[in-house]
Amino acid sequence: MALEHHQPVMLNESLEFLVAAPAGRYLDGTLGRGGHSRALLERFPEATVVGCDRDEAALRRVAEELPTELAPRLELKQLSFSQLATLGGGFDGLLLDLGLSSEQLSDDERGFSFRFDGPLDMRMDQSAPTTAAKLVNETPEADLANLIYRYGDVRRSRAVARAIVKSRPLRTTFELAEVVRRVVRRSGKIDPATRTFQALRMAVNGEIDELNAILTTSLTLLKPAGRLVLISYHSGEDRLVKRFLRRMSGGCVCPPGTPVCLCEPQEEFKLLTRRPVIAADAEIKANPRARSAKLRAGERLP
């Protein structure tokens, strides 16, 4: 397994929007390598954090690496977004960084990246039954094309699906990447396989359904004046977050031209970011993963 140095994306911006109560109780729903949570505990000595992740390996790694003096203020739990409701409420802030950690991307046995040859897995929770190999080798061609288009915005999704079906069985990341590259031309610096891998990962982990679940649950997790901070890397995810915060701050999200508002806007949040916050040029240069990141935040109203 090849490991990369972990750099939390938009760390300072995240904590600036998240922490309004220095002695508060915070929920990190995407713990990863623990970078955001660790920084929060270091900067705010009276704060406590519940750190959650679907990935058992991530939780184990954070427990091993966390400084002893911080450990009593960090509670670790293996939970998906849809399971966070079991924590009850009373949180002063909820942070969600929807990207993969550098460790997940660099682990060739997890199959998230085509930079390393490994099994087509892509499961964040290793106990989940559906792998990327199962989707790639068993999904009907039309459904596979729709999946790749919906989650990856791949214009030639039908051609990609057709090529995958003709090449079955596919067992490794290198095999899949080569099939996609034969169909999709390179656009700038982006590898042609990038969006297809993204689409399969999102489908394997049910990421859109999980995101919808936590957006709804945030209403009960956060106390009045609690902050919701989300960092997304995919246009579909950012669109969901934008629409949720707009509707929950009293704005209409119905399609233009709709004669009567049907989206039932509510006054649950105050928008803290009218437009998404993006990483500074210096951070992008040091950490290319930050290039596509968009941060949005809201504050829970009474």
pLDDT score of 105 = 77
What is the CB neighbour count within 10 angstroms for residue 70?
A: 16
DSSP code per residue over 239-271: HHHHHHHHHTBT---SPTT-SS--S---B-EEE
What is the CB neighbour count within 10 angstroms for residue 103?
A: 20
pLDDT score of 2 = 37
Q: Which one, of 213, 203, 201, 198, lies nearest residue 94 by Cα?
A: 213
pLDDT score of 154 = 93
Q: How far apart are CA 73 and CA 174, in angstroms?
A: 42
H or E stretch covering 212? helix 207-221
278: DSSP letter:
-
Q: Which one, of 4, 13, 3, 2, lies nearest residue 283 by Cα?
A: 13
- The b/e string for 191-214 (b: 16+ C-beta within 10 A; e otherwise) is bbbbbbbbbbbbbbbbbbebbebb
Q: For the domain bounded by 11-103+207-300, which CATH number is listed? A: 3.40.50.150
Residue ranges covered by each domain of the chain: 11-103+207-300, 129-204
pLDDT score of 227 = 98
Kindly tell me the burial class for residue 119, based on how many C-beta atoms sit within 10 Å of its own C-beta (0-12, 13-18, 19 or more).
middle
pLDDT score of 258 = 86
- The class (CATH top level) of 129-204 is mainly alpha
Q: What is the dihedral of CA 139, 143, 149, 151, to 10 degrees?
A: -60
pLDDT score of 6 = 62
**Cα-based angle 142, 210, 300 (whole degrees, multiple of 5):** 140
pLDDT score of 21 = 97
φ, ψ of residue 33 to 5 degrees: the values are -85, 0
User: Would you call the peptide bond into 169 cis, given omega within 30 degrees of 0 as the criterion?
Assistant: yes
Ordered per-residue pLDDT tens for the chain, 302 residues: 333 446 799 999 999 999 999 999 999 999 999 999 999 999 999 999 999 999 999 999 999 999 999 999 999 999 999 999 999 999 999 999 997 777 777 788 899 999 999 999 999 999 999 999 999 999 999 999 999 999 999 999 999 999 999 999 999 999 999 999 999 988 778 899 999 999 999 999 999 999 999 999 999 999 999 999 999 998 899 999 999 999 999 999 988 888 888 888 999 999 999 999 999 999 999 988 899 999 999 999 98
Strands (E), 152-289: 222-232, 269-271
pLDDT score of 1 = 39
Q: How far apart are CA 70 and CA 201, in angstroms?
A: 33
pLDDT score of 183 = 95
Max Cα distance, the chain (Å): 59
**Cα-based angle 67, 73, 79 (whole degrees, multiple of 5):** 100
